[in-house]
Amino acid sequence: MNQGTEAKPMTPEVNTLPKEHYLNAGYDWKSWLLTTDHKRIAILYLISISVMFILGGLYAVLIRWNLLVPDGSHMSAETYNRVFTAHGVIMVFFFLIPSIPATLGNFLIPLMIGARDLAFPRINLLSWYVYVIGAAFTLFSLFSGGLDTGWTFYTPYSTVFAQSNVAFAAIGIFIAGFSSILTGLNFIVTVHTMRAPGMTWFRMPLFVWAHYATAIIQILGTPVVAITILLVALERLFHFGFFDPARGGDPILFQHLFWFYSHPAVYIMILPSMGVVSELITCFSRKRIFGYSFIAMSSMAIAVIGFLVWAHHMFVSGMSVYSAMIFSALTYLVAIPSAIKVFNWTATMFRGSISWETPMMYVFGFIGLFLIGGLTGLFLGNLGTDVHLTDTYFIVAHFHYIMVGGAIMGYLGGIHFWWPKIFGRKYSEWWGRISAVLIFVGFNMTFLPQFLLGYLGMPRRYHAYPEEFQVLNVLSSAGALILGIGYLFPSLYLAHSMVKGEPAGNNPWGARGLEWETTSPPPAHNFDQTPVVEDEAYAYDKAPKEAVVA
């Protein structure tokens, strides 16, 4: 039984770009660098994080290149430490954390709830400048001698012994953290105060729920890592001694404070992606999402429970075993809401009318790879097996399956889904699908061997390894090459589409949602008239709404 009724969007056969939209509302530098339009700020972020992604990716290339040979002789151990640290710092703080919220979140949330802008447009712009300044500090530190502590800054190495630019990098990350806090603050207030008439909480797109939950984590978690980094900087510069055993400090306290944020941070990285998946899967199954309230509430549950599990990163640190038992039990709890999402997505597809457009391919990639990443987390949450697996490549594979196989797949799926809305043009569907396949193949080839390597005992962050691990390492590096090429293609065909792409029309996918009821690209003020919402979310049993254009 096919529950969807509309396979084609109700827009004219030949689409044209609207005469006035947010992109041509001013061309000079002031209209961009002093903009308060959430859509333009999203584009500014898109450019910045793309640059950081390329940089982080280049460091990854260096890592995999060095690991082609067992003696790691392509670079010194000291250089290798700087390379993997740079990769981690850039990818975590300057790509993954802002990625979906600052680009798709900023662009879409006001549109999705029928508002003219976010609650605080100038704070939105400020958050971008804060991000850029933080990035500048950090990049300066990375390029002028580098950072060799790992992205986790563990003390007392980072505070006492490291001969690298710890203080500068710490300040840069501290500053960037405020960008995240300001974004979260804006989203929370916007969702509470600026929904259009009729847009009740339980009619909001799940993308918005996901970002609301993410914003809670940004607000409550980031300040703790901010103060921790400040303490590291104080210790480094003024020898305060909070984490230095020689002065009575406890290095494990640093880890508690650090991971109190950094574990919920991984939910900052995955929740928005899950929000994207919810949007895409319902559109490309042409069926209302199954279990809307379960998915919405599971996002909130992940946000809250995610704050209770941080010490599972510290099981072998010397912390109390009894405390570790508590954290282990709580860690198993946090898997449940994620599983609920996967079940509901699957149920959404059941008896739906599934089509294989590029965004949907990324959805399938997400679900499969997130599943593997999440399940391998269960081995790590278990005290016994974690002792064997921690600080090995098993961990590296686990988090890359979630961060790359999950978060980045979701990000790319979202970029492809909303690209026509953001720029008003379609990209080549053929190239889109090829790239999605390439990325999926390259990704698995890179990281599947790493599960094996970790289980067999190869430690992480080592620049050299025993001979018998070379085959798996070479396989992983070959996969990274394919993955890199896979990532290159979208940047080319998407850029090409910005000038040569066919105009998309208001609703090229025939999707449901307020963002599809305005032009592509949208006008600067989003809607000519404030929408009034009468339908539930994802009303795929009804015809899509026509845009109300002046």
Partner 1 sequence: MPEASAPPAQGPLAHHFANLKQQKHAAVLGMWVFIAQEVLFFGGLFATYAVYAMKYKEAFEAGSGHLNWKIGFFNTLVLIASSLTMAMGVHSAALGRSRRIVGWLLATVFLGTVFLGVKYFEYGEKIAPCFGMGAGPGCLVPGQLFDASVLHVAADVAPETQIFYSLYFAMTGLHALHMIVGIPIILWIAHAAWKGRYSPAWHTPVEIVGLYWHFVDIIWIFLFPLLYLMGRH
Partner 2 sequence: MSDHIVSWKVYVGVFLALVALTVTTVVAASYDFGPLNVIVALGIAITKATLVVLFFMHARYAGGLTRLVVLSGVAFFFILVFLTMSDYVTRSWSLTGAS
- Binding residues for partner 1, rule: CB under 8 A, are 20, 25-26, 31, 115-121, 181, 185, 188-190, 192-194, 219-224, 226-228, 231, 234, 238-242, 247-250, 253, 256-257, 260, 523-525, 528-530, 550
Question: Could you say which of partner 2, partner 1, none residue 292 binds, taking C-beta under 5 to 8 angstroms by partner kind?
Answer: none
Residue 258 or 411: which CB sits closer to partner 1?
258
| Total Cβ atoms within 10 A of residue 58 | 15
Which residue in the set 97, 125, 224, 402 belongs to the binding site for partner 2 (CB under 8 A)?
Answer: 224
Residue 54 or 253: which CB sits closer to partner 2?
253
Question: Minimum CB separation from partner 1 for residue 249, in Å?
Answer: 7
Question: Minimum CB separation from partner 1 for residue 518, in Å?
Answer: 13
Number of chain positions touching partner 2 (CB under 8 A):
20
Residue 185 or 372: which CB sits closer to partner 1?
185
Query: Are 432 and 493 a contacting pair, CB within 8 Å?
Result: yes
Residue 195 or 286: which CB sits closer to partner 1?
195
Question: Could you say which of partner 2, partner 1, none residue 31 binds, taking C-beta under 5 to 8 angstroms by partner kind?
Answer: partner 1
**Which residues from 283-342 bind partner 2, rule CB under 8 A?**
307-308, 310-311, 319-323, 326-327
Question: Minimum CB separation from partner 1 for residue 334, in Å?
Answer: 20
With CA atoms as reference, report the closest residue to 450 among 425, 477, 426: 477
Question: Could you say which of partner 2, partner 1, none residue 327 binds, taking C-beta under 5 to 8 angstroms by partner kind?
Answer: partner 2
Query: Are 282 and 348 a contacting pair, CB within 8 Å?
Result: yes
Whole-angstrom Cα distance, residue 497 to residue 223?
A: 40
Question: Minimum CB separation from partner 2 for residue 304, in Å?
Answer: 9
Query: Are 414 and 100 a contacting pair, CB within 8 Å?
Result: yes
HSE value, Cβ hemisphere, 13 Å, CA-based, for 209 = 26
Q: What are phi and psi of 392, to 5 degrees?
A: -115, 180
Question: Minimum CB separation from partner 2 for residue 320, in Å?
Answer: 4
Residue 405 or 522: which CB sits closer to partner 1?
522
Question: Could you say which of partner 1, partner 2, none residue 238 binds, taking C-beta under 5 to 8 angstroms by partner kind?
Answer: partner 1
Query: Are 268 and 407 a contacting pair, CB within 8 Å?
Result: no
Q: Cα–Cα–Cα angle for 423, 511, 40, nearest 5°?
A: 25
Classify each residue of 169-190 as buried b or exposed e, where b means 16 or more C-beta atoms within 10 Å of its C-beta: bbbbbbbbbbbbbbbbbbbbeb
Question: Could you say which of partner 1, partner 2, none residue 194 binds, taking C-beta under 5 to 8 angstroms by partner kind?
Answer: partner 1
Residue 325 or 488: which CB sits closer to partner 2?
325
Whole-angstrom Cα distance, residue 135 to residue 91?
A: 12
Question: Minimum CB separation from partner 2 for residue 326, in Å?
Answer: 6
Peptide bond into 521 cis (omega under 30): yes
Q: Cα–Cα–Cα angle for 413, 418, 423, nearest 5°?
A: 130
Residue 467: C-alpha distances to residues 70, 451, 460 (Å): 6, 17, 16
Whole-angstrom Cα distance, residue 430 to residue 169?
A: 42
Question: Minimum CB separation from partner 1 for residue 167, in Å?
Answer: 15
Question: Minimum CB separation from partner 1 for residue 40, in Å?
Answer: 13
Question: Minimum CB separation from partner 2 for residue 102, in Å?
Answer: 23
Tokens of 185: 């603050």
Question: Could you say which of partner 2, partner 1, none residue 121 binds, taking C-beta under 5 to 8 angstroms by partner kind?
Answer: partner 1
Question: Minimum CB separation from partner 2 for residue 322, in Å?
Answer: 4
Residue 403: C-alpha distances to residues 138, 268, 301 (Å): 22, 11, 20
Question: Could you say which of partner 2, partner 1, none residue 524 binds, taking C-beta under 5 to 8 angstroms by partner kind?
Answer: partner 1
The H or E element spanning position 479 is helix 470-500
With CA atoms as reference, report the closest residue to 357 among 444, 441, 280, 424: 280
Question: Could you say which of partner 2, partner 1, none residue 117 binds, taking C-beta under 5 to 8 angstroms by partner kind?
Answer: partner 1
Tokens of 27: 């061309």
- The site string for partner 2 over 191-210 (x = CB under 8 A, - otherwise) reads -x------------------
Assess 153 for contact with partner 2 (CB under 8 A).
no
Query: Are 196 and 110 a contacting pair, CB within 8 Å?
Result: no
Whole-angstrom Cα distance, residue 192 to residue 207?
A: 15
Question: Minimum CB separation from partner 2 for residue 117, in Å?
Answer: 21
Question: Could you say which of partner 1, partner 2, none residue 321 binds, taking C-beta under 5 to 8 angstroms by partner kind?
Answer: partner 2
Query: Are 312 and 327 a contacting pair, CB within 8 Å?
Result: yes
| Total Cβ atoms within 10 A of residue 460 | 17
**Which residues from 252-281 bind partner 2, rule CB under 8 A?**
252-253, 256-257, 260
Q: Which residues contribute to the site for partner 2 (CB under 8 A)?
A: 192, 216, 220, 224, 252-253, 256-257, 260, 307-308, 310-311, 319-323, 326-327
